Structure 1
Amino acid sequence: MKDKEKYIDNFNQRRDFFQKNFALKIGRQRTDLKSEDILKNSCPVCGYLTLDERDSFDICAICFWEDDGIDDFEENNESGPNHMTLKEGREIFQKAKTKLLTANVNDDNLIDTLKSTFIKLDNSIEQNNLEKFEIIRLQNEIVDLLTKNRVNGLEKLFDK
């Protein structure tokens, strides 16, 4: 239970961090108030900024959740395209991420690189010590690694 509580705290911290540090205009797309750049939206499962728009059936490149608009207040409702609840999706992602972060695989470059990038990104979010563009760069690096290696969601990483 301790790991689950820690994960939920990190998830909420990650979403809060993005809300505070990536200010947005009202609408389905996140628009940075200072630069007018279009930003990604936070995925309701993994909490990372991966969705172009909320509630538009975008698929998160990190956890592979198809965003049908279900969010915290409906976390126990079945998500049609995902065939599970948001709560179940979060639990699956948490298990996959924990498995990655505790993996002891030094001969798999993909796993080692993903592990170190997630650690750097999450530590930076927790400590609030990186520039916005560095946060986005680290997230994009994770997405690129998963996409390039055809890993459709972090939970599929160890199936390869």
Structure 2
Amino acid sequence: MKRLFKKHPFFLQVVVILLPFGLFPVLDANAYHIDLMTNVGIYVLLAMGLNVVVGYTGLLNLGYAAFFAIGAYTYALLNLRTGCPFWTALPAAGLVAMIFGFVIGLPSIRVRGDYLAITTLGFGEIVRIAFNNLDRWTGGPNGLLGIERPRLWYLGMKNGVRL
């Protein structure tokens, strides 16, 4: 285990940062605090992913949130329209976001510096405008309502914890 953390310090950071979020619902059952910590956890994951792209590789990606939005809308649409359960929709949403990343990344392979920033910024704006204008699919500026929250029974709570 020591060797794992020594060779991969990023893995240790992920464990140390995410562990409190997993234990929080057990320690504090207040719904507001759980909702707040869930949002904090989501943004911590987003920041850690951005750190990999910008911090470790040095590539300026200004459209990073677009892939986050694509994954989020994919999960929401799978959950709302098809009734897909959380543990099936979550990897599917990641896969769809990965495919979009590959589609935008393939033509951007030879682009560096400011041109990469402009390319990713343009993609981010295209995604934002598309999601705002596709009222039928995304709910437009109002978003999607009624997304079922996952029940995490494995935490050992009597009634489950709704995140």
**TM-score higher than 0.5 here?**
no
**Higher RCO structure, 1 or 2 (CA under 8 Å, sep 6+):** 2
Q: Greater Rg, structure 1 or structure 2? A: 2
Q: Which has the higher strand share?
A: 1
Give the TM-score taking structure 2 as reference length.
0.30
Q: Which has the higher helix share?
A: 2
